[in-house]
Amino acid sequence: MADNKGVMIFTEVVEGKLAPIAKELLGCGRKLADELKEELSALLVGSGVASFAAEAIAFGADKVYVVDDALLKDYRTDAYVAVVEKVAKQANPRILLLGQTTIGRDLAPRAAFRLGTAVTLDCVALEIDTSSKLLLQTKPVYGGNAQAIFTMETSPQMATVRAKAMSALVPDNARKGEVVTVAAGLDAAAIKTNLLQKVVQEVEGVKLEDAPVIVSGGRGIGGADGFKQLEELAKLLKGAVGASRPPCDNGWVSDTIQIGLTGKIVSPDVYIAVALSGSSQHLAGCSGSKNIIAINRDPEANIFKEARFGVVGDWKKIIPAFHAKAKELLGK
């Protein structure tokens, strides 16, 4: 551990952009690095990603390791684990952070165990313990019913971080940093999985993660027709439609709009929760919302414990009347 220094961020590039989670991680990593009085580095892995180094520096990195190789165009576990192993052994960071994303949750455990260390997935808070200098890793457990704080004494100390749990810095294009290119050195034969196809299920309208208003339906909506009404309301409010898990499992809506522990993490200004009970696993994905509005016929439903405003009753009566009044008030 004595030789390990600095904080390293695995910075993902998604759809030709530095991912929001990468910026959030750099913001969080900057704070940790400053506290340790050590360096913050970013690790950029992919094909054609070198150009993002400057942006990573603007968002807080002192140094950027770039591993650019055609074999890294698509994420494949074996290739990315090998790259993370190589760079981590070269740079010896004290702390290595990734996003709790499709890639992060697949890559982090395997890379951690390859490096002889461990990782805590899906952290919502990270702090340096003042006496031991160890990274305190706070993670929701039991579906969000509780939180646990973990540490590890192996290096690097690794964690993945939940979307929207950390804040990005305001980018400073005047910041200076160093760029280090590392050869991937991959053996194509050692990559045992093959990506055959990527299927994107487009959802119309505003993107769920960016929507300022979300109208979210639960099991009580009862079917795809009910969700049409929620869609119309979302359109009026310039928002997006989300769902708890049962509507996705039942095929009423696309799996990609599931909100929660194992779905999307959202934090809109307004989250209208309709006919969903507010399970801890669902709240894991929406408790960061600024205002939760609950509509449920059960006055004891857990969602009312999280909500700022609520109406008790049948959504089939409430949603149309609410829609009509909101339309009138908005002058549309």
Partner 1 sequence: MNIIVCVKQVPDPEAPPASFKIDSTTNKVAPQTNIPPVISPFDEQAVEAALRIKDAKGGKVTIISLGANLLRDVVKKPLSMGADELVLLEDPAFVDGDSWSTAYALAIAIKKIGQFDLIFCGRQAADWDSGQVGSCIAEILGLPQITVAKKVEVVDNKVKVEKVTADGYEVIEATMPALITVSNELGAARYATIKGIMAAKRKELIIWKPADIGADTAKIGVAGRRTKMHKLFQPVREGKCEIVTGENEEDAAANLAKKLMEVKLL
Ligand X SMILES: Cc1cc2nc3c(=O)[nH]c(=O)nc-3n(C[C@H](O)[C@H](O)[C@H](O)COP(=O)(O)OP(=O)(O)OC[C@H]3O[C@@H](n4cnc5c(N)ncnc54)[C@H](O)[C@@H]3O)c2cc1C
Distance CA 258, CA 243 (A): 5
Residue 133 binds to partner 1 (criterion: CB under 8 A): no
Rank residues 130 and 197 by Cβ distance to partner 1 and give the closer one.
197
Taking the complex as a whole, the smallest distance from the CB of residue 109 to ligand X amounts, in Å, to 17
Q: Which residues contact 312 (CB under 8 A, 6 or more apart)?
A: 296, 297, 298, 299
For tokens 């008790």, name the residue: 312
Residue 308 binds to partner 1 (criterion: CB under 8 A): yes
Within positions 249 to 288, which residues make up the interface with ligand X, using CB under 6 A? 258-263, 275-277, 279, 281-282, 285
Give the CA count within 13 Å in the CB-facing half-sphere of 174. Answer: 0
Distance CA 265, CA 284 (A): 7
194 binds, among ligand X, partner 1, none (CB under 5 to 8 A by kind): partner 1
Q: Which residues contact 73 (CB under 8 A, 6 or more apart)?
A: 46, 47, 48
60 binds, among partner 1, ligand X, none (CB under 5 to 8 A by kind): none
178: alpha, beta or left, given left = phi > 0 and alpha = psi -120 to 50? Answer: beta
Taking the complex as a whole, the smallest distance from the CB of residue 250 to partner 1 amounts, in Å, to 10
User: Which span sits near partner 1 by CB under 8 A: 44-52, 84-92, 142-150, 165-173?
Assistant: 142-150
Rank residues 212 and 223 by Cβ distance to ligand X and give the closer one.
223
Taking the complex as a whole, the smallest distance from the CB of residue 74 to partner 1 amounts, in Å, to 8
User: For residue 66, which amino acid is it?
Assistant: V
Residue 310 binds to ligand X (criterion: CB under 6 A): no
Residue 118 binds to partner 1 (criterion: CB under 8 A): yes
